[in-house]
A = this chain, B = another copy of it.
Amino acid sequence: MLVNPRPRIVVIGGGFAGLWAVRGLRHASADILLIDRSNHHTFQPLLYQVATAGLAAPSIAAPLRHMLRRQRNVTVILGDVTAIDTVARRVTADPISYPYDYLVVASGATHAYFGHDDWKRDAGGLKTLDDALAMRARILTAFERAEAAADRSEQAAWMTFVIVGGGPTGVELAGTLAEIARHTLKGEFRRIRPAAARILLVEAGPRVLPAFAETLSRSAERDLRRLGVTVHTGRAIAGVSPGGVSMDGEWIAARTVLWAAGVEASALGRRLGVDVDHSGRVRVCPDLSLEGFPEVFVAGDLARVGAGPDAVPGLAAAAKQMGAHVARSLKARLRARPTTAFHYRNYGQLATIGRRAAVAQLGPLRLAGVIGWWFWLTVHIFFLIGFRNRLVVMIDWASAYWTYRRGARIIVGSAADPAGRSACTPSG
């Protein structure tokens, strides 16, 4: 009698969902192949800190194969999955095609421009470390261009920043940008006054942080205004161009537009040949498997679980829970036992506005101001991966707190300059 070969599990994506699925399978008797487009796991909740020059990129990332080096049943492959054949049970990451017995698709989400993909060029979003480095370069370059500008109107356009989207990312970007303009850059320019920068936060809905309780939204909005951010709620962006945005018939000259609005699921969802919702998320069975394909699971931002107010939100905590549940479902399948339904445990949500101001909603508990901020700091240090990263982030945050300095104020990346000039090669 032939010995059954070990089942092959392919996991697409090393974000929170994929990584937690792989880790949950550490004792499974299976050959796991983890495929990701990048060589590292990114701690997405702190991407805005890399974008605003507070942290260096390596501080919020960890190499996937290093994290998984001791889990001998995993092979990590750097690759870009271009096709999934759920009938032949193969995944293609050019030029190689990998067969699977079980598949976990956790390829996450990207920005959505509501049908205006042409806005992307002038209004980059924030989902990857490359996005964060490009955004950092745009923000820092804007102040440089204002200092070098030949005339007043050009200067004003470089000193105007529009942040689209009033969710946690938009609020965090706006608050930090206001602090940079008012404190970090103080006294460093000779021709402009950085504190005169206009920072506009535009939210189409009636209030910022719409997923939070109304009291917390109001608290966040107050904190933002105190920092000097102009908050526009109930107003939608109608156009984005290199020179500015249009909004309700009004034209705002702004050379820097940061996108923190819509989210769209990874395009791989649509290639599974099943039903997806309007933002491309895959409708899954209660155990997170794909209808008609019990050997395929979907987890993280790509999965649509629940609807309306009961929908599982696109948060790191939810992705981790889904990943861990997929691991449990897979272990059940491997032992020919029934799988169970996924239930999201809502531990709450957090958003920081700036120095000593954050909001946290934890079940019935609501924190704001300094207490919310300390809670936010503690949670983020705790969940960061790696001792070195925790230590360096603490040093950078302590330094930023006492001196307002930001440890990563360097422009790198040659695609970063919106004016199309290379601002990257030191000449000295």
Contacts and interface: CB of A to CB of B under 8 A. Distances in A.
A38 B427 contact: yes
Given A39-B409, A415-B415, A427 B396 contact: no
A350 to B, nearest CB: 21
Interface string A108-123: 1000000000000000
A76 B189 CA distance: 8
Interface string A60-90: 0101011001100011111111000000000
A426 B42 contact: yes
A268 B40 CA distance: 40
Contacts of A133: 412-413
The 5 closest A-B pairs by CB, nearest first: A15-B428, A13-B428, A56-B56, A78-B144, A58-B408
A427 B94 contact: no
A247 interface: no
Contacts of A77: 144, 147-148
Interface stretch (A209-217, A284-292, A337-345, A387-395): A387-395
Interface string A311-346: 000000000000000000000000000000000000
B409 A190 contact: no
Contacts of A13: 426-428
A304 to B, nearest CB: 17
A166 interface: no
Interface stretch (A199-207, A377-385, A416-424): A416-424
B407 A58 contact: yes
A230 to B, nearest CB: 26
A129 interface: yes
Nearest to A95: B150
Contacts of A69: 187-188
13 contacts: A39-B410, A40-B410, A40-B411, A41-B428, A65-B189, A66-B188, A66-B405, A127-B425, A128-B424, A129-B424, A388-B405, A392-B392, A413-B413
A36 interface: yes
A59 B56 CA distance: 8
A337 to B, nearest CB: 28
Interface string A393-409: 00110010000010111
Interface string A178-211: 0000000001111100000000000000000000
Nearest to A319: B428
A37 B426 contact: yes
Size category, A interface: 35 or more
A108 B427 contact: yes
A141 interface: yes
A108 B423 CA distance: 16
Interface string A138-157: 00110011011010000000
A352 interface: no
Given A38-B411, A96-B148, 6 more contacts: A13-B428, A14-B426, A15-B427, A56-B56, A78-B141, A130-B425
A32 to B, nearest CB: 10
A107 interface: yes
A66 to B, nearest CB: 6
A17 interface: yes
B144 A40 contact: no
A410 B148 contact: no
Given A59-B56, A187-B69, A36 B426 contact: yes
B58 A425 contact: no
